[in-house]
């Protein structure tokens, strides 16, 4: 810490992480909610690009779907769909908390695991639908 | 000497009365996005939208176009509210924070307009 300007060296939010903070499901899922939220915000650019390419014409749309069908495109789509389901499921968990319910330690942990498993299950169902529909 | 009562002072100096609005709109849009997102991903997954003709035909259904425009409006609003909180938490410095917030707010507005106009152009355009 500099004696001249303590505010300049003030640590930013997740500074407790790693050094002082023991891993726990709740905090990990909380970070994940933010990370997936930011990821989905970036992913929504891809969503806008999708309809924009459709509006621009068949060639631009073919370029978009060609990229989406490429291995990297498929990887991005799978990540996006899981991020969406995770953020949605954990969002429901937050709405339950907003209602003042499920604050017991055991309920918080159980809810966390339900969110993890249901987000993975929904992603699997979606991609099975994509493959077999 | 202050002549205002403690309650009057608190009212004068307190919140800008927008904090609850932000929190509440985040919840309303979150609730709306649950069915909208499920509808969107499973519609796209079940309709074969890879040929250009197919997505044009899909968006020519007025109900699909309307729900998709609504979905985009709610989605980008929710996204703007969420990104705002992240910026407020992690971007330090008054000027840097304000500039980043403005940039992301305006970017969200612009991308939302682009997406909605694109849907409408296809929806109202020829087959």
Tally of structural domains, chain B? 1
Instruction: Identify the residue with better confidence: A13 or B103.
Output: B103
Residue A82: pLDDT band with limits 50, 70, 90: very high
- Note whether residue B74 is domain-resident: yes
Determine the pLDDT at residue B60. 97
The confidence score (pLDDT) of residue B15 equals: 59
Q: What is the structure's pLDDT at A85? A: 98
Do the chains contact at B45 and A34, CB–CB below 8 Å?
no
Q: What is the pLDDT of residue B31?
A: 98
For chain A, domain boundaries? 25-132
**Three-state DSSP string of chain B:** CCCCCHHHHHHHHCCCCCHHHHHHHHHHHHHHHHHHHHHHHHHHHHCCCCCHHHHHHHHHCHHHHHHHHHHHHHHHHHHHHHHHHHHHHHCCCHHHHHHHHHHHHHHHHHHHHHHHHHHHHHHHCCC
List the structure tokens of A78: 């799978």
- The ipTM (two decimal places) reads 0.87
Instruction: Provide residues of A within 8 Å CB-CB of chain B.
Output: 12-13, 34, 37-38, 40-41, 44-45, 47-48, 51-52, 54-55, 57-58, 61-62, 65, 69, 81, 84, 88, 91-92, 94-95, 98, 126, 129-130, 133
Mean pLDDT of A58-80: 97
- Reported as a pLDDT band with limits 50, 70 and 90, residue A130 is very high
Given pLDDT bands bounded at 50, 70 and 90, which one contains residue A2? very low
Are the Cβ atoms of A81 and B41 closer than 8 angstroms?
Answer: yes
Q: Is residue B9 part of a domain?
A: no
Q: Which residue has the higher pLDDT, B126 or A56?
A: A56
Instruction: Describe chain A by its helix, strand, coil percentages, rounded to 5.
Output: 80, 0, 15
> How does A67-80 read in b/e, with b if 16+ C-beta sit within 10 Å?
ebeeeeeeeebeeb
Q: A88 and B90 in contact by Cβ < 8 A?
A: no
pLDDT in tens, B77-118: 999 999 999 999 999 889 999 999 999 999 999 999 999 999
Q: Which of A7, A51, A63, A77 to mutate to test the interface with B (most CBs of B within 10 A)?
A: A51
CB contact under 8 A, A41 and B31: no
Model confidence at A98: pLDDT above 80? yes
What is the pLDDT at residue A22? Answer: 77
Residue B32 domain flag: yes
Was domain A25-132 assigned CATH 1.10.10.10? no
A51 with B92: Cβ contact below 8 A: no
Give pLDDT tens digits for B17-34: 666 889 999 999 999 999
B115: closest CA of chain A, how far (Å): 5
- Band (pLDDT 50/70/90 cuts) for residue B49 is very high
* HSE (side-chain half, CA atoms, 13 Å) at B102: 6
Q: What is the pLDDT of residue A66?
A: 97
Lowest mean per-residue pLDDT among A23-27, A127-131, B100-104, B106-110: A23-27
Check residue A91 and give its pLDDT.
Answer: 98
Average pLDDT of span A55-66: 97
Q: pLDDT-based confidence at A6, cuts 50/70/90?
A: low
Residue A54 to residue B92, Cβ atoms within 8 A? no
Within 8 A of A70 by CB-CB distance, chain B residues are none
Please report the pLDDT score of residue B109 as a whole number.
Answer: 98
Rounded to 5°, the CA angle B103-B107-B108 comes to 120
**Is residue A21 classed as helix, strand or coil in its secondary structure?**
strand
């Amino acid at each position: 810490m500099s004696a001249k300007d303590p505010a300049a060296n003030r640590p930013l939010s997740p500074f407790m992480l790693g050094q002082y903070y023991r891993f726990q499901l709740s905090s990990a899922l909380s970070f994940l909610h933010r990370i997936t939220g930011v990821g989905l915000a970036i992913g929504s650019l891809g969503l806008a690009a999708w309809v924009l390419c459709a509006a621009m014409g068949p060639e631009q749309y073919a370029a978009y779907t060609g990229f989406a069908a490429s291995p990297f495109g498929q990887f991005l789509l799978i990540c996006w769909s899981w991020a969406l389901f995770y953020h949605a499921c954990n969002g429901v968990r937050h709405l339950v908390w907003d209602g003042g319910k499920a604050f017991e330690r055991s309920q918080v942990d159980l809810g966390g695991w339900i969110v993890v498993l249901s987000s993975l299950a929904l992603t699997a169902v979606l991609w099975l639908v994509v493959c077999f529909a | 000497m202050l002549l205002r009562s403690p309650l009057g002072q608190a009212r004068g100096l307190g919140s800008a009365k927008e904090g609850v609005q932000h929190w509440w709109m985040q919840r309303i849009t979150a609730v709306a996005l649950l069915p909208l997102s499920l509808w969107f991903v499973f519609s796209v997954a079940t309709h074969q939208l890879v040929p250009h003709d197919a997505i044009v035909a899909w968006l020519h259904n007025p109900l699909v176009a309307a729900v998709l425009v609504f979905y985009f409006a709610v989605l980008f609003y929710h996204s703007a509210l969420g990104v705002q909180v992240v910026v407020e938490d992690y971007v330090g410095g008054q000027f840097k924070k304000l500039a980043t917030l403005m940039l992301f707010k305006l970017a969200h507005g612009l991308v939302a307009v682009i997406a909605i106009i694109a849907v409408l152009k296809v929806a109202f355009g020829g087959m």
